């Protein structure tokens, strides 16, 4: 068989095509034919060089790609405003908690309160107000607790307000003592806002969950 036939088979091998003859026969010819073995080495070198040629230059599109992007991601401004509002709410609630504690601690320690109340009643009131301050501070530190604290603080405020107004009209409480309850009202409003904001954030996550099939 002429060498040209074997070289066509070698070329087919380099291109991954059928050889047209048994591979053992081709390899045996290469072992015995120095000319075809040299031709095979040169063909492999040329083929490798052609396949490893440098890629054509590509223009730098970085500026164009960055220029096509929006100035800010969709919803980024709204998310930044939400984070700012959450931070402001927590800081104000923190201040209210500290103020509430400052009102409660002296009464709790000394046992002397407004309207000459008995010592135990005064200290009990101080402990109660300190607990309210602790609730404010807890929600300021972890807003996820707002929904749990709201029923307790909300019911307390709803009962205290009409009683305080009635006692204020009857002269049973001083105006400065009644005004101190505004801290409680403001704190409850902020906790309600925190609970509402937390619920709004949780609703999209719940709606994304796949529906569970029921039998």
Residues 32-57 have pLDDT tens digits of: 888 888 888 888 888 777 776 666 78
Please give the pLDDT value at position 215.
41
- Whether residues 119 and 154 share a domain: the answer is yes
Last residue of a domain, one of 34, 51, 68: 51
Its domain, for residue 23, covers 3-51
Cβ-based burial of 55 (10 A; exposed 0-12, middle 13-18, buried ≥19): exposed
The rounded distance, in Å, linking the Cα atoms of 134 and 156 is: 15
The structural domain count of the chain equals 2
Please give the pLDDT value at position 5.
84
Mean pLDDT in the chain?
A: 81
**Among 3-7, 46-50, 83-87, which stretch is predicted with the lowest mean pLDDT?**
46-50
- Whether residues 45 and 82 share a domain: the answer is no
Q: Which two tokens stand for residue 56?
A: 């054509």
The rounded distance, in Å, linking the Cα atoms of 32 and 3 is: 11
The rounded distance, in Å, linking the Cα atoms of 159 and 184 is: 12
- Whether residues 82 and 47 share a domain: the answer is no
Please give the pLDDT value at position 88.
94
**Among 13-17, 113-117, 161-165, 211-215, which stretch is predicted with the lowest mean pLDDT?**
211-215
Q: Which two tokens stand for residue 11?
A: 């070329």
Note whether residue 69 is domain-resident: no
Average pLDDT over residues 112-137: 76
Please give the pLDDT value at position 189.
94
What single DSSP character describes residue 55? P
Average pLDDT over residues 99-127: 73
Q: How confident is the model at residue 113 (pLDDT cuts 50, 70, 90)?
A: low
- Whether residues 111 and 13 share a domain: the answer is no
Residue 47 and residue 14 in contact, taking contact as beta carbons nearer than 8 Å: yes
What single DSSP character describes residue 211? P
- Does residue 213 have a pLDDT over 50? no
The rounded distance, in Å, linking the Cα atoms of 184 and 163 is: 14
The rounded distance, in Å, linking the Cα atoms of 40 and 37 is: 5
Residue among 4, 78, 11, 72 at smallest CA distance from 40: 11
The terminus-to-terminus CA distance of the chain in angstroms comes to 76
The more confident residue out of 185 and 201 is: 185
Residue among 121, 126, 95 at smallest CA distance from 109: 126
Task: Classify 163 as helix, strand or coil.
Answer: helix
Note whether residue 123 is domain-resident: yes
How crowded is residue 110: how many other Cβ atoms within 10 Å of its Cβ? 12
Note whether residue 60 is domain-resident: no
The more confident residue out of 120 and 196 is: 196
How crowded is residue 125: how many other Cβ atoms within 10 Å of its Cβ? 16
Q: Where are the beta strands (DSSP E) in the chain?
A: none
State the pTM of this model.
0.55
- Whether residues 23 and 86 share a domain: the answer is no
Q: How confident is the model at residue 135 (pLDDT cuts 50, 70, 90)?
A: very high
Please give the pLDDT value at position 72.
61
Task: Say which residue the tokens 């107000």 belong to.
Answer: 129
């Amino acid at each position: 068989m002429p060498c040209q036939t074997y070289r066509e088979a070698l070329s087919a091998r380099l291109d991954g095509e059928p050889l047209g003859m048994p591979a053992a026969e081709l390899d045996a010819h290469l072992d015995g034919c120095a000319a075809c073995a040299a031709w095979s080495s040169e063909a492999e070198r040329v083929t490798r060089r052609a396949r490893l040629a440098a890629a054509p230059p590509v223009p730098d599109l970085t500026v164009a790609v960055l220029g096509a992007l929006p100035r800010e991601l969709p919803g980024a401004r709204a998310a930044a405003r939400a984070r700012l509002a959450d931070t402001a709410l927590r800081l104000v609630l923190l201040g209210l908690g500290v103020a509430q504690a400052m009102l409660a601690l002296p009464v709790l320690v000394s046992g002397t309160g407004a309207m000459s109340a008995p010592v135990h009643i005064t200290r009990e009131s101080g402990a109660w107000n300190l607990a309210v301050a602790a609730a404010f501070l807890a929600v300021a530190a972890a807003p996820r607790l707002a929904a749990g604290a709201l029923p307790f603080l909300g019911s307390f405020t709803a009962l205290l307000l009409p009683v305080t107004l009635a006692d204020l009209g009857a002269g049973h409480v001083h105006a400065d003592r009644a005004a101190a309850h505004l801290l409680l009202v403001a704190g409850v409003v902020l906790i309600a806002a925190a609970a509402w904001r937390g619920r709004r954030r949780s609703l999209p996550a719940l709606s994304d969950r796949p529906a569970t099939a029921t039998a």
